[in-house]
Chain A
């Protein structure tokens, strides 16, 4: 056949449709979450000073190095630049008390990245939120260090609002709890900073509104039903941080809309059972970890109705 005038010297690339894609990548999403965590980081640096920055830095560093070592040893591609190790490190640090000894924080980071993430095959394959795995480990290994609280700014020994509740006398005001001027973990005390970051995540659609709404909603309803103050429960402890940043972790929460509702409701129930009847004042991490375990099941039983599919009643 004769040659056409329009010809190409280079091979044209053949690929299956679609031939365009949007700009979002795993890395851009992860750094988006890092940005959303910055207000909480700034708040914790304000309230807990240099200590906060130090703990966050070493925890993040421990996570990144652990990931690198693990992937080197396994001969896998190095993914430390995708931002997910930074997210895990920041979230873990935010879940530590300001007085946490540095080496324990490092141990937490190592555990989070190994037991929490890489033994399962890395990002996307881990059933449990890695930061919460790290925290749960630290709580089991070093219980005393994990519940030693200091007041913000002056750093004298104090208790968290939830401990105050357990002791029967709440002295922290809503305002202090809202802006974060109370005892607690580094990144969990300032509801304001967390909300700013959370709204950013919602705006960028990096998280789905259903989980925070159903989680916080369930907590509020149960609090009311048992004659407690829902606002206190929302602001106290790690609930805000958990609801916006940890329960919403994409990898470990359901993918279906209905599954997300059930996940949030389940986490809310577990949390309130722990807070109202458990021996331990804080329950956010356990409630989320427990629901992480149910995620595959929730996804499986909440298959959405396809377009045009007639509802069949069993």
Chain B
């Protein structure tokens, strides 16, 4: 096998993927109650289409918004709307959510019907299916997928990149999907190509998943235009910009979007969700979640209904091995720590990790200017300098040093021997700058 392409910078954290990489995807029994946040995507928040006491069917649309950048939400189980109330969102903060009591009847909504063969669907039909199915970027960014499929007329898309990197440690949900359902990913990729009106797709997979590469290569046989590209093992290869550079050698302009250079990126999970939406008509109501970490009894990959509580999922994975110290939703480098395990799984919950001890030392020492953060920054920034400007309140200087080009991958903080708060300060700085700009424009 070739040595694999890659980008400049990045880190090699210990993967810990062996905990769950060989565990076949298991279907989790839908819980007695689900909590569906009205916002699980980038963009406008949904308005509920149901009210307390309503009976809902599995797959029924229960929330939507008029805005273009948004994605509807659907009932993952059949049952009764128990409440519409605010709940903790796994990404932090509170959101309105629809609580449904499961009647365990799995009663399908009449709207759930196969959408026909891909050959018979045109681009607009596919885009409509994708939007109506509430499909968002499942890699974590949760950007509504139909928006990516509708580039402004002046942007000519040439290449579709499908992200199968899964570069965060512990996570294996995409890996298992590629191994077990490569055909679904290929079909979803074909649908994406058709929706974009192009013929070239590249699927990037890191070399630590040889079985996935092999399965995908086999599935891609006979589909001219779909190429599998092995990539070197490195974090954050799955970050959109870094993946594009690894595969094409091109850089996305700072402040711009991949479509500016004719590229659209989607995750393998997103492609598979599109295939499901076309073949069965089922919207995005479930996803694969990797439950892992030494604090979980039976690390594994579970097919989980959106809205299941974190605690329900952990229980399905056998519960804790000891006293958990930290529970993380997402990967260990960019995920969010939880304090309340009743938070729901959302469309972007790729993993639930349990650590019995903290894996970071938290007393920062002075920066010894070792330059390690500079060496690893995939955005070619000088994280220590930017963080120092942010901490000192000099936001203009921070911006001049590229504050806004930070992709928040956390590589800098990962390698810092002095445990400096680098990405942490930088994120705050970005929020401040964006808030300021927002104030100016409105």
Contacts of B341 in A (CB 8 A): 4, 6-8, 12
Measured as residues with beta carbon below 8 angstroms from the partner, the interface class of chain B is 35 or more
Q: Is the CB of A29 within 8 A of B13?
A: no
Asked whether B396 is an interface residue with its Cβ less than 8 Å from the other chain, the reply is: no
8 Å CB contact of B374 from A17, A28, A121, A256: A256
Contacts of A299 in B (CB 8 A): 382, 385
Asked whether B432 is an interface residue with its Cβ less than 8 Å from the other chain, the reply is: no
Q: Is the CB of A251 within 8 A of B379?
A: no
CB distance from A72 to the nearest CB of B (A): 19
8 Å CB contact of A124 from B333, B369, B427: B369
Contacts of B204 in A (CB 8 A): none
Q: Is the CB of A19 within 8 A of B328?
A: yes
CA–CA, A1 and B252, complex, Å? 47
The stretch of B40-48, B145-153, B313-321 that contacts the partner chain: B313-321
CA–CA, A8 and B324, complex, Å? 7
CB distance from A294 to the nearest CB of B (A): 14
Q: Which residue of B lies closest to A300 (CB)?
A: B385
CB distance from A106 to the nearest CB of B (A): 26
Asked whether A144 is an interface residue with its Cβ less than 8 Å from the other chain, the reply is: no
Q: Is the CB of A12 within 8 A of B415?
A: no
Q: Is the CB of B369 within 8 A of A307?
A: no
Q: Which residue of A lies closest to B314 (CB)?
A: A6
CA–CA, A30 and B269, complex, Å? 45
8 Å CB contact of B368 from A29, A304, A305: A29
Q: Is the CB of B325 within 8 A of A310?
A: no
8 Å CB contact of A19 from B326, B366, B372: B326
8 Å CB contact of B13 from A7, A22, A205, A304: A22
Asked whether A171 is an interface residue with its Cβ less than 8 Å from the other chain, the reply is: no
CA–CA, A255 and B388, complex, Å? 14
Q: Which residue of A lies closest to B16 (CB)?
A: A20
Q: Which residue of A lies closest to B381 (CB)?
A: A306
8 Å CB contact of A304 from B241, B339, B342, B380: B380
CA–CA, A14 and B374, complex, Å? 27
Asked whether A122 is an interface residue with its Cβ less than 8 Å from the other chain, the reply is: yes
Say whether, besides A4-B342, A308-B254, A19 and B337 are in contact (CB < 8 Å).
yes
Q: Is the CB of A255 within 8 A of B423?
A: no
Q: Which residue of A lies closest to B335 (CB)?
A: A17
Q: Is the CB of A20 within 8 A of B332?
A: yes
CA–CA, A306 and B368, complex, Å? 23
Say whether, besides A14-B337, A19-B332, A26-B417, A124 and B359 are in contact (CB < 8 Å).
no
Q: Which residue of B lies closest to A1 (CB)?
A: B342
Q: Which of B375-394 contact A (CB under 8 A)?
A: 375, 378-382, 384-385
Q: Is the CB of B323 within 8 A of A8?
A: yes
Asked whether A154 is an interface residue with its Cβ less than 8 Å from the other chain, the reply is: no
Asked whether B4 is an interface residue with its Cβ less than 8 Å from the other chain, the reply is: no
Q: Is the CB of B417 within 8 A of A29?
A: yes
Q: Which of A98-151 contact B (CB under 8 A)?
A: 121-125
Q: Is the CB of B326 within 8 A of A308?
A: no
Q: Is the CB of A255 within 8 A of B368?
A: no
Q: Which of A1-47 contact B (CB under 8 A)?
A: 1, 4-22, 24-26, 28-29
Q: Is the CB of A12 within 8 A of B368?
A: no
Q: Is the CB of B254 within 8 A of A20?
A: no
Asked whether B371 is an interface residue with its Cβ less than 8 Å from the other chain, the reply is: yes
CB distance from B237 to the nearest CB of A (A): 14
Contacts of A306 in B (CB 8 A): 254, 379-381, 402, 405
Contacts of B400 in A (CB 8 A): 303
Contacts of A18 in B (CB 8 A): 332-334, 360, 410, 413-414, 423
Q: Which of A250-274 contact B (CB under 8 A)?
A: 250-253, 255-257
Among B253, B359, B370, the most chain A Cβ lie within 10 Å of the Cβ of B370
Q: Is the CB of A308 within 8 A of B251?
A: yes
Q: Is the CB of A21 within 8 A of B327?
A: no
Q: Is the CB of B315 within 8 A of A6?
A: yes
CA–CA, A7 and B320, complex, Å? 9
Asked whether B416 is an interface residue with its Cβ less than 8 Å from the other chain, the reply is: yes
CA–CA, A48 and B311, complex, Å? 68
Question: What are 7 sample pairs from A and B whose C-beta atoms fall under 8 A apart?
Answer: A8-B323, A13-B325, A20-B333, A26-B365, A252-B369, A255-B369, A309-B254
Known: A18-B334, A22-B13. 18 other contacts (CB 8 A): A7-B341, A10-B324, A14-B338, A16-B424, A19-B326, A19-B328, A21-B413, A21-B414, A22-B414, A24-B372, A29-B417, A122-B366, A124-B367, A206-B370, A255-B382, A303-B400, A303-B402, A309-B405
Give the 4 A-B residue pairs with the shortest CB-CB distance, closest first.
Answer: A124-B366, A18-B410, A308-B254, A306-B402
